[in-house]
A and B are shown apart, each in its own frame.
Chain A
Amino acid sequence: MSDPRVLDGNAVGGLLHDVFGAEVTAVPCTCGSCGARGEIARLVVYVDCPGVVVRCPECTQVLITIVRVHEHACVDLSGVGRLEL
Chain B
Amino acid sequence: MKTLELDVDWDGHRAGQHLDVRLTAEDGYQAQRSYSIASAPGERPAITIERLDDGEVSPYLVDELREGDVFEVRGPIGGYFVWDGDEPGPVLLVAGGSGVVPLAAMARHWKRVGSSAPMRLLYSARSWDEVIYRDELEHLGIGVTYTLTREQPERWQGYARRIDDELLSEVAFPASEGPRVYVCGSTHFVDAAADGLVRLGYDPASIRTERFGATG
Chain A–chain B contact at Cβ < 8 A: yes
Q: Which residues of A contact B80 (CB under 8 A)?
A: 9-10, 25-26, 39-41
B214 to A42, Cβ gap below 8 A? no
B79 to A24, Cβ gap below 8 A? yes
B209 to A14, Cβ gap below 8 A? no
Complex Cα spacing A25 to B80, Å: 6
A47 to B213, Cβ gap below 8 A? yes
A23 to B78, Cβ gap below 8 A? yes
A74 at the interface (CB under 8 A from B): no
Complex Cα spacing A3 to B118, Å: 38
B50 at the interface (CB under 8 A from A): no
B108 at the interface (CB under 8 A from A): no
Also in contact, A7 and B78, with CB within 8 A (given A13-B18, A14-B20) = no
A64 at the interface (CB under 8 A from B): no
Q: How many positions in chain A have a CB within 8 Å of any CB in the partner chain?
A: 20
Question: Once A and B bind, how many residue pairs between them come within 8 Å at the CB atom?
Answer: 58
Complex Cα spacing A26 to B210, Å: 12
Complex Cα spacing A34 to B101, Å: 35
Q: Give residues 23-76 of A contacting B (CB, 8 Å).
A: 23-26, 39-42, 47
Complex Cα spacing A17 to B20, Å: 12
User: In whole Å, how far is A3's beta carbon from the nearest beta carbon of chain B?
Assistant: 8
User: Which residue of chain A has its CB nearest to the CB of B215?
Assistant: A5
Complex Cα spacing A29 to B18, Å: 22
B196 at the interface (CB under 8 A from A): no
Complex Cα spacing A71 to B117, Å: 47
Complex Cα spacing A18 to B13, Å: 18
Q: Which residues of B contact A7 (CB under 8 A)?
A: 187, 211-213
User: In whole Å, how far is B86's beta carbon from the nearest beta carbon of chain A?
Assistant: 15
Max chain B Cβ within 10 angstroms of own Cβ: one of A2, A10, A14, A39: A10
Within the complex, which residue of B78, B187, B213 is in contact with A13, where a contact is CB–CB below 8 Å? B78
B211 to A11, Cβ gap below 8 A? yes
Q: Per-position contact with A for B65-81: 1 when CB-CB < 8 Å, else 0?
A: 00000000011011111
Complex Cα spacing A25 to B215, Å: 22
User: In whole Å, how far is A4's beta carbon from the nearest beta carbon of chain B?
Assistant: 9
12 A-B pairs within 8 Å (CB atoms) are namely: A6-B187, A6-B211, A11-B34, A11-B211, A13-B18, A14-B74, A17-B74, A23-B79, A26-B80, A41-B208, A41-B209, A47-B213
Known: A5-B187, A10-B80. 6 other contacts (CB 8 A): A8-B211, A10-B81, A13-B78, A14-B34, A25-B77, A25-B81
The 7 A-B residue pairs with the shortest CB-CB distance, nearest first, are A5-B213, A41-B80, A13-B77, A26-B80, A26-B79, A23-B79, A25-B80
Binding site for A on B (CB under 8 A): 18-20, 34, 74-75, 77-81, 187, 208-215
